[in-house]
Chain A
Amino acid sequence: MTAITDIPDAPRAARRPQTGNPVLRWLRKNLFSSIPNGILTVVLLALLAKGIFSFVQWGIANAVWLTPANDSSACRAVRGVGACWAIVPEKYRFILFGTYPFDEQWRPALSVVLFIALYYLSTRRALWRRELVYLWIGALALISVLMWGGVFGLSFVSQDRWGGLPVTLILATFGLAFGFPLGILVALGRRSKLPAIRSLSVLYVELIRGVPLVSLLFMASVMFPLFMPAGFNIDKLLRAQIAIILFAGAYLAEVVRGGLQAVPRGQYEAADALGLSYWRKHRLIVLPQAIRHVIPPLVNTFIAFFKDTSLVLIIGIFDLLTTAKTAIIDPAWQQFSVEVYIFVAAIYFVFCFAMSRYSRSLEAPTTPK
């Protein structure tokens, strides 16, 4: 077992002369502070070098980057010794946009850009005002128009043909946009003094959180038609979206509840003393404070959902992961699934890493020292 940094045997270290080359000093302090530590460093360096060397050999030196269209013979020649990145330029349109009509794929591409812009604007502290809600409504409406079309001379594209990254972003973003208000209502319900409302909220939260998302999705895909009047049926994507909203609502409710608990009692009492009604008290006094408390955990919950939307693969909805898995069904490219998975993993990673960085920057103290 290795030493833990925070142990203050610092006084002894501090007495050592602080002279010499700063690089050497850094090396001694951080990599070779003791003999076991030095051995550990050497072993780790050796392993790391070996890992990087074999990855570079497979992923760069021996890799095939481009092949003529629909010809995987060059890739098959290096199978086992080199990566076939050529599958990415070959299939990226399908992976990113699924079966959306090829000539119209600028529309989902533009939607993705709009989504990213929306996320970016939502992270700006200066924009955390009422207008942000209108911005969300406007952006989501614009994205719906772009994706469906049928107006302004855009041809209509049914949602059966949507696929890839936009579907992942739609499931996650609409899940948040509807799940968040639902979560706030349920969190308020769970803290309500009215027993019937409180027990209904508890029942909802505990039932949803007690079962895996997979079973909720099965329910949406198999049981939903049973629940509806005969002849009434809604689209599979919408059903999955409803399941994700219900799932998100339960988890967000718990996060918001944590925030509500952190608001001091005096704030509630002051609002009551002003004679505010229940809704105005929460809208004007309590919720703004409660939500500010829980923004980092909210972002973390959003990262979790963003990853969880990939589960719709199991009920056959064409999100980013499903299109990736479908792209490698093609017999010519079947053996190169690892490369495709790495490509898709990189896309998910970029989104989640950006969000987790943002969440961490929020947790850091913001007051000037």
Chain B
Amino acid sequence: MTADHPRPPPRRRLLALGRNELKGLFWQVLVVGIAVGVIAFLWSNTVTNLSARRITTGFAFLGREAGMPIADSLLAYNPRDTYFWAFVVGIANTLRVAVIGIVLATILGTLIGISRLSANWLLSRLAAVYVETLRDIPLLLQLLFWYVLMQALPAARAAWRPVEGVFLSNRGLILPAIPFGPPQLAVLGAAVLGCAVFYLIRRWLVAQQMRDGKPRPAWPFALGLMVVVPVAVSLALGVSWTIEWPQLRGFNFVGGLTLAPEYFALLIALVTYTSAFIAEIVRSGIQSVPRGQWDAANALGLRRSFMLRQIILPQALRVIVPPMTSQYLNLTKNSSLAVAIGYQDVVSVANTTLNQTGQAIEAIALIMAVFLTISLSISFFMNWYNARIALVER
């Protein structure tokens, strides 16, 4: 063994960098140089081309009159509004289909995922066929298919009535609705507030149980805060909850809630397609719970519902939530296929804007900004939820 040699004094190198650092620096300079060069080349071309076409860059066009029709919108809109407002309406339309689509796809996907694990052979085979078929056909094709079916429905006069008050015709799906105004909103607000307070109380109750082991019933609080309080508010304000039934007058329907054929087709296509993927995620999540957990829960003599809720589901969710996030993001991005059937979501509005004004860069930048914001919000929420349900190891 050699004793501790004093190290030879380091040789002075260029910039005191080692060979590897120099190589790294060289590669970085090269790659960044190429990237900057390409972007500069494209940028200078773009500037030249835009000035040749007399298009001024910038977002000033957002203040101009849009002049594009948007048939089906949640917010009030007419073609004389500005491009800015048209974009807002488009974003609202995207969110309307994405949020409702995510909720429905989650419910349907979970049901089908559980069906695939059913002890009933027929049910599990049917669920498997559903998943395989929908996953292996392009979404756009399914969307066009649903849209064609919508258009082939009978006219308003001969509309189908699956249930009293519900009409299905080539005008879309017409549902009975409750007219919504500030008083109804107040009741809804009371209910939401009740839920929030109940959540806090329940957390406190669970913390108490953790301390002394005595279970405390939470349902009286649930009943009081989420049912009694809103009902009391409703009675106190004298809010009317009369249901408005749609009626056929002439060639169209009056009253009720109308889901336009474009919206309805898009919603069905997104929900059925995404639910097939969610079903697989739910199935693999439940299957990932080790068998010993079922055995142990059975051995403790727990009730079935309690076992599923308290033992199996919390463990399955850990596997389910991360891939579910990317399905939600996919559904949101896929809602941009709306442009193929003429439902005016934000991509479709941007496309029309682009054709009318030639402001290509701005329109695409707006699309990117909107989708990046939505994606980041969904990821943020799901990461928060994931962290909440993650395994806390001691």
Contacts and interface: CB of A to CB of B under 8 A. Distances in A.
Contacts of A335: 152
A45 interface: yes
B295 interface: yes
Nearest to B149: A338
A141 interface: no
B122 A44 contact: yes
Given A30-B121, A193-B24, A218-B364, A353 B136 contact: yes
Contact of B122 (A7, A45, A194, A211): A45
A6 B134 CA distance: 26
Contacts of A45: 122
Interface string B349-378: 011001000001100100110011001000
B25 to A, nearest CB: 8
B138 A222 contact: no
B122 A215 contact: no
Contacts of B149: 338
B119 A226 contact: no
Interface stretch (B47-55, B261-269, B382-390): B47-55
Contacts, number: 178
Interface in B129-153: 132-133, 135-142, 144-145, 148-149, 152
A198 to B, nearest CB: 10
Contact of A196 (B28, B48, B291, B372): B28
B319 interface: no
B139 A307 contact: yes
Interface in A298-349: 303, 307-308, 310-311, 313-314, 321, 325, 335, 337-338, 341, 344-345, 348-349
Given A2-B123, A37-B119, A215-B347, 18 more contacts: A3-B118, A5-B119, A9-B298, A30-B121, A31-B120, A44-B120, A44-B122, A189-B31, A197-B28, A210-B375, A211-B333, A215-B336, A223-B361, A226-B361, A230-B52, A313-B140, A348-B137, A349-B136
Interface in A233-287: none
Interface in A191-207: 193-197, 200, 207
B24 A194 contact: yes
Interface in A164-218: 189, 193-197, 200, 207, 210-215, 218
Interface of A: 1-9, 30-31, 33, 37, 40-41, 44-45, 48, 189, 193-197, 200, 207, 210-215, 218-219, 222-223, 225-230, 303, 307-308, 310-311, 313-314, 321, 325, 335, 337-338, 341, 344-345, 348-349, 352-353, 356
